[in-house]
Amino acid sequence: MRPGLVTLALFLVSCPGGKDDVEDVNHQPVADAGSEVVQPANHPVHLDGRSSYDPDGDELTYSWAFDYAPEGSALPERQAPFDPNHDTSGATTFQPDRVGAYLVQLVVHDGERSSKPALVVVNATEPDELPTADCGSDVVAVLGDTVTLDGSSSSDPLGGSLTWSWSLSSVPYNSTLGPVDLVGPDTVSPSFVPDVRGEFIVSLVVDNGLARSAPDSVTVSVQGGNLPPIADAGADQAGEDCTLIELDGSASSDPEGARLFYFWELQVKPPTSATGQHSFSDRTAIAPTFWPDVAGRYEISCSVYDGLEWSEPDTLALLLAERAVNSAPSVDAGPDRIEPEPPGEATCVKDGYVWDCDDCMAFTTEIGTGGGISDADGDPLVIAWEVLDGDAAVIDADVFPSTAILDETQPDQPGSCTETPVEFKVSATDCPGTTSIDTVLISVECCGVKEAEE
């Protein structure tokens, strides 16, 4: 026998009680919460901690808890979010109430000692089943009555509670209802009072805390008798021509209080007047302006529409005299000038004792450059350009500034330049008929060049 073994044998013989007197040692158990879980949030999450163990072989009790949950989750505050928990089964489940990442902690206990916490990440993704919104059947209502809707047939695949979000997604074009007119939009049964006849479409979306449903809608058809609206074009007016006349149809009304739409029309005008429907600032406005161009009698009508019927037109008369005070238009045709820069060139050929020169090409230029036209009274002006002297043509003679084509010009001989003047006149006539004019002289310069010798 080796010396070491002899020593150990003597020690055991000499110790009273032998190995039965050695004190038992309890080792700390080890928790294992399992692998990461990724799954849709509308299904229960199954966790397995049965890989946890105790070195001494003791039976373990498993305790699950949330270390972190997505914002808005109520699970950490619930009394028993895990089922089962604090038992010896080793597995548990919980139902996510929000999409996002959960951090779950497992601690095991062997009856005397607890393990260190073990963590597992649960990623609850967008649900593969959404809640279903149900607005109920379409509704037929009478104008003025309160319409109550019902979303109680909406459902959730988890059987959980829903939140409600109703909205007016479409109203008749003459309705003034908006979001604030829907009473209880976050309840199962909102209501509203239609303000006009026609079709109102109301939409519903429900939310189970994990996901929102697709929208559902219900059509509310509003019916009822209708009385036509009453147009009021305002009182007859006296004034002056060539002055903005202000119209006002705001006294028009509807028996049911419906929103009104306006339409103005020129019915009668003096024989020499060039006014028309274009003379209104806006024929569909409640209070447009009208521009009369000559003195005399005008008749203007106003009609209103309530969404179902037009009113009878109402007419007012305008009795207008000549405008007493008028300022003549200011007209400046711009400074005289020579075009082009550099001058045009034409080839010249010796023909006996004289030179035969080609023409410089026709030249296009702007007329009115550096000038301007205005009227102190703000009258609309009639513009007219014309050529007083020279070969030219005006394009768009009724606008300022405008464009002119200056005809071909010819030099006398090589090395000389010829200036060919063209005189233009522009006039501006205001509403009362006062005309102002100005002229401008534009010269076309053409220089001869000798034909190159071969």
Other Cβ atoms closer than 10 A to 169: 12
54: in domain: yes
Q: Which residues of the chain fall below pLDDT 50?
A: 1-19
Q: Distance (Å, rounded) from C-alpha 73 to C-alpha 209? A: 9
Residues 317 and 347 in one domain: no
Q: Distance (Å, rounded) from C-alpha 298 to C-alpha 268? A: 5
Residues 335 and 317 in one domain: no
Q: Residue 157: left if φ>0, alpha if ψ -120 to 50, beta else—which one?
A: alpha
241: in domain: yes
pLDDT at residue 65, as a whole number: 96
What's 363's domain CATH number?
A: 2.60.40.10
Residues 104 and 143 in one domain: no
Residues 336 and 434 in one domain: yes
131: in domain: no
Per-position b or e across 136-146, b if 16+ CB within 10 A of its CB = eeebebebeee
98: in domain: yes
- Answer whether 430's CB lies under 8 Å from 377's CB: yes
pLDDT at residue 12, as a whole number: 42
Residues 355 and 441 in one domain: yes
Residues 192 and 159 in one domain: yes
Residues 143 and 190 in one domain: yes
Query: Where among 172, 198, 223 does a domain terminate?
Result: 223
pLDDT at residue 182, as a whole number: 96
* Of 65, 68, 59, 67, the residue nearest 29 (C-alpha): 59
Query: Where among 192, 223, 254 does a domain terminate?
Result: 223
Residues 211 and 316 in one domain: no
**Which domain, by its residues, includes 256?**
237-321
- Answer whether 195's CB lies under 8 Å from 189's CB: no
Mean pLDDT of the chain: 91
Residues 373 and 437 in one domain: yes
20: in domain: no
Distance of CA 345 to the CA centre of its chain: 57
296: in domain: yes
Domains held by the chain: number: 4
pLDDT at residue 9, as a whole number: 42
42: in domain: yes
Residues 306 and 337 in one domain: no
CA atoms within 13 A on the CB side of 132: 10
Query: Where among 96, 125, 154 does a domain terminate?
Result: 125
104: in domain: yes
